[in-house]
Amino acid sequence: MKSIRYRQLFVGLVVSFAASAASNAQLPEFTHLVKEISPAVVNISVQRSAAARVPRGDRFDEREMPELFRRFFRDMPHPRPQPRNRPTLGSGFIISSDGYILTNNHVVENADEIIVSLQDRREREAKVVGADTLSDLALLKIDASDLVGVKLGSSEKLQVGEWVVAIGSPFGFEYSVTAGIVSAKGRSLPDSNQNYVPFIQTDVAINPGNSGGPLFNLDGEVVGINSQIFTRSGGFMGLSFAIPIDVALDVVEQLKDKGSVSRGWLGVLIQRVNRDLAESFGLDRPSGALVLQVYSDSPAESAGLREGDIIIEFNGMKIDLSADLPHVVGRTKADTKANIVIVREGKKKTLAVVVGQLSDSTLSIETGESGSQSGNRLGLVVEELSDEDKDRRGVKDGIQVVEVLDGAAGKAGMRSGDIVTMLDSQWVKSVQQFNEIVDSLVADDSVPIRIVRNQSPMFLAIKVIEP
């Protein structure tokens, strides 16, 4: 009996060990990969004057250190700080053996001096060949021999769930390696100046000092440039974002040739289509980019685009999310002829547009009759706008909401002070016309209403209530 039990125990241990080994065999092994790719990664130290402004720099000081290290530094004697240049630490990587290096623009912006440190401890001063604020990329050049460049991969082929590796200098700890998986692709971040980058989201640990460093796949190819993290604490919280290498390479070629980057421009302000707006515009599902405003003398105006149009396709590319449109338009060359498929008043329509050139200026643009004080079917008390008020509020036409009562408008999120410029796809020019449109609305229908709030236009969906 004992021999049988021992035999069963032995077999069980063997099976358990085999299962554990099989499970471990599925995990990636990074040591050989890191040895191969590390020589192409560089550390970047930047000197700036104290007055220089760094929008998203990776400044490294004891306040950014973990608490354990802060205590250590706090116990050491410190002289009273004096005004001086402060170093900024970042990362980068060599893209060619002739000394070209790619990093983030915010790492080197407004730099007085840029020093690149190689893995073999050599240091070289770098010059900025060109920089692009919208993609947050900068191309540097150093004079050095025996340089090893990275292998460049394809972010387009990258799949969600795929393993990726980052190498950089978080908090100044050089050549730190972290790993994780791709969490999502094509992410747009709230910063409007970054709308032209479809970020790769990962759970790779990234901290100040990692900016500009490479994101590798398991084939040792660069698929992204680590750029930003989402954080409430100042440190890593599981959400990091990398610029796709396909986007970066297009930027690099233009920076090499011209020192600047050109992008396509349409000339519209857009909004995401949610479920309520989709219903109010007669769509079967939330999709597309809702046009809030068409800028004067823009390609969009010439093509016949209007406020309230929903762009669902641009030059053969489907626009499922509003964030998809800037990515697609931005990568289209100026003077390119493109077709735009829109939904207008519930019907599809195709417009032809000649894409314009995005510039700094285009980027930065982008008699009283009192209303009824009892409110209308929507629960709004409105009044006329004087010409002076229209100029001050930046609108051509519209009426002002004086009070929001209990009703459909309040449920939709309207506020006192909103300017109503369009209702149910009709421009609003007066209180009388607005009330006529309200009276003609069909009960239980959802209708779109365009408002201007704090000089920013937006669409809301209002569910009409029985009069």
Which pLDDT tens digit goes with each residue over 7-62? 555 555 555 555 555 455 578 889 999 999 999 999 999 987 654 544 444 444 44
List of residues 6+ apart from 130 with CB closer than 8 A: 138, 139, 254, 255, 256, 258, 259, 260, 261
> Is residue 124 scored above 80 in pLDDT?
yes
Same domain, 135 and 38: yes
Same domain, 113 and 192: no
Instruction: Count up the domains in the chain and report the number.
Output: 4
Please give the helix or strand (H or E) that residue 353 lies within, else none. Answer: strand 347-354
Structure tokens at 296: 């004067």
pLDDT over 70 for what percent of the chain?
A: 81
| pLDDT reported for residue 77 | 43
What is the C-alpha to C-alpha distance for residues 264 and 358, in angstroms, rounded to an integer?
A: 6
175-184 average pLDDT score = 96
Same domain, 373 and 454: yes
The answer to whether position 447 is within a domain reads yes
> Is residue 183 scored above 90 in pLDDT?
yes
Residue-wise DSSP of 173-220: -TTEEEEEEEEEEEE--S-GGGTT--EEEE-----TT-TT-EEE-TTS
What sign results for the dihedral spanned by CA atoms 121, 105, 127, 87? negative
250-304 per-position pLDDT tens digit: 899 999 888 888 889 999 988 889 888 998 888 889 999 999 889 888 999 999 9
The chain-wide mean pLDDT, for the chain, equals: 82
> Is residue 213 scored above 80 in pLDDT?
yes
> Is residue 440 scored above 90 in pLDDT?
no
410-437 average pLDDT score = 89
Higher pLDDT, 442 or 364: 442
> Is residue 406 scored above 80 in pLDDT?
no
The answer to whether position 22 is within a domain reads no
Same domain, 338 and 433: no
The answer to whether position 79 is within a domain reads no
Are 58 and 208 a contacting pair, CB within 8 Å?
A: yes
| pLDDT reported for residue 5 | 55
Q: What is the residue range of 172's domain?
A: 151-258
The answer to whether position 19 is within a domain reads no
The answer to whether position 129 is within a domain reads yes
**Residue 447 maps to which CATH number?**
2.30.42.10
Structure tokens at 80: 């009273």
The answer to whether position 8 is within a domain reads no
Catalytic residue from among 58, 136, 246, 424? 136
89-113 average pLDDT score = 93
Same domain, 304 and 396: no
DSSP 8-state class, residue 263: -
Higher pLDDT, 373 or 278: 278
Same domain, 415 and 438: yes
Same domain, 137 and 40: yes
Nearest residue to 57 (alpha-carbon basis) of 66, 68, 46: 46
Catalytic residue from among 211, 280, 298, 322? 211
382-389 average pLDDT score = 83
| pLDDT reported for residue 85 | 54
| pLDDT reported for residue 82 | 45
Same domain, 279 and 235: no
| pLDDT reported for residue 64 | 43
Higher pLDDT, 110 or 340: 340
Same domain, 326 and 376: no
Query: Burial, 59: exposed, middle or buried (Cβ in 10 Å; 0-12, 13-18, 19+)?
Result: middle
List of residues 6+ apart from 98 with CB closer than 8 A: 147
Res. 362 pLDDT band, cuts 50 70 90: low
> Is residue 359 scored above 80 in pLDDT?
no
Domain boundary among 330, 364, 398: 364
Same domain, 313 and 412: no
The answer to whether position 323 is within a domain reads yes
Catalytic residue flag (residue 439): no
Structure tokens at 432: 């009388």
pLDDT over 90 for what percent of the chain?
A: 47
**Residue 91 maps to which CATH number?**
2.40.10.10
| pLDDT reported for residue 25 | 54
> Is residue 453 scored above 60 in pLDDT?
yes
Same domain, 180 and 274: no
Structure tokens at 331: 């990568």
64-85 average pLDDT score = 42
77-92 per-position pLDDT tens digit: 444 444 445 567 899 9
> Is residue 72 scored above 50 in pLDDT?
no
Domain boundary among 258, 293, 324: 258
Catalytic residue flag (residue 106): yes
- For the chain, what is the largest distance between any 2 Cα atoms, rounded to a whole number of angstroms? 105
3-state secondary structure of 136: coil
| pLDDT reported for residue 147 | 93
Instruction: Return the minimum-mean-pLDDT range out of 137-146, 167-176, 300-309, 376-385.
Output: 376-385
Same domain, 136 and 46: yes
The answer to whether position 217 is within a domain reads yes
Domain boundary among 364, 399, 430: 364
Catalytic residue flag (residue 327): no
| pLDDT reported for residue 66 | 46
123-143 average pLDDT score = 93
Rg (CA), the chain: 28
| pLDDT reported for residue 388 | 78
Catalytic residue from among 91, 106, 155, 169? 106
| pLDDT reported for residue 436 | 85
Nearest residue to 141 (alpha-carbon basis) of 180, 110, 101: 101
Higher pLDDT, 179 or 196: 179
Res. 205 pLDDT band, cuts 50 70 90: very high
Instruction: Return the minimum-mean-pLDDT range out of 6-15, 156-165, 347-356.
Output: 6-15
The whole-model pTM stands at: 0.67
